[in-house]
Structure 1
Amino acid sequence: MLKSLLFILVMLTGLSSGSLAQTSKEDLLHLDKGWENALLRSDVEFLENLVADDFIWVHNHAGLIDGKEAVLSRAKRIQNGQQDDTRNRISRDQQVVILGSTGVVSGYTVVDRGPSPTTYHFMRTYTWTASGWKLLGNHTMAIPEEELK
């Protein structure tokens, strides 16, 4: 009986590791683009499934630090009719690094809220769980106009 339980445990561990091993940088990049799209469209279901319960988002210069509930609350308010001035979000120059069960995506996002777009540098940390990748941390920093030239 004990041998059977150990065998099952080893097999399950191998299967979950195999799933992670099959995840490519392109898969994680695609998921990260989904994050941007979900923020733009206030897709509550996508955000609920992606964001880890202990998620931390450090906004520009730590002027705001919030978590999963804040992200979901904002998306729900917008879905319920609250004005949202975000017109577009476009990511560029993304880099993906995967080490063990941790993935990091960094790059730039241009957020158009008018009158002129703001460029942010971001670094998001994902962790592999039994249910796939979860977004654990996000750090965003506005890039001053003069540094973009």
Structure 2
Amino acid sequence: MKSITLFLCLFTYFSASAQESCMTVENIKALDAQWEEKNLNPDPEFFKRVLADDFVWVHNHASMIDTKTSTVKRAEKQAANEGSDTRSRIQSEVKVAITGNTAIVTGFTIVDRGPTPTRYHFMRTYVEVNGTCFLTGNHTMAIPEGE
């Protein structure tokens, strides 16, 4: 009888754990805020852990396209030089839309690298795989001053 009770307790615990999802608005917003913070204060291990293997980042007018490898390498270089040249990154108007195991995050980020800050619109795509959320795509577009 004790072994059946133990089995049922373990089954219930693991079933509940398996049902937990990273795909909630709160979790995705927190993960996206970490993305911004780790771009300000480079942490290569964060990028290795969070970026999908086929991650793609399309920058302003496709002026540059990054992969997981290039993003991690840039973070490693910046970390070795004790940081990036970015003074601040401030998000606003962040919205999350979730469909199934996919979240689309949109909003604005003001990036200050001097001499004046630049406002970007972004759209990022997160996908949940086996209970873990990965960033698979990022598109950023600078907004001209006055718009």
Q: Distance in 1 between matches of 2:24 and 2:77?
A: 34
* Deviation at residue 81 of structure 1 after TM alignment: 1.4
Corresponding residue of 2:20: 19
Structure number with the higher helix fraction is 1
Q: TM-score if structure 1 supplies the norm length?
A: 0.84
Alignment of 1:7-86 (within 5 A): 16=18, 18-20=19-21, 23-81=23-81, 84-86=84-86
Q: Partner of 1:77: helix, strand, or coil?
A: helix
Alignment of 1:62-141 (within 5 A): 62-81=62-81, 84-141=84-141
Counterpart AA for 1:112: D
* Deviation at residue 15 of structure 1 after TM alignment: 5.7
Q: Taking structure 1 as reference, are residues 86 and 99 closer, same or farther at Cα in structure 2, changes over 3 Å only? A: same
* Deviation at residue 23 of structure 1 after TM alignment: 3.8
Q: TM-score if structure 2 supplies the norm length?
A: 0.85
Q: Please, what is the CA RMSD of the aligned residues?
A: 1.9
Q: Which runs of 5+ in 1 are unaligned?
A: 1-11
Q: Distance in 2 between matches of 1:44 and 1:124?
A: 19
Greater relative contact order structure (CA < 8 Å, 6+ sep): 2
Corresponding residue of 1:145: 145
Aligned length: 134
* Deviation at residue 45 of structure 1 after TM alignment: 1.1
* Deviation at residue 24 of structure 1 after TM alignment: 2.0
Identity, % of aligned positions: 46
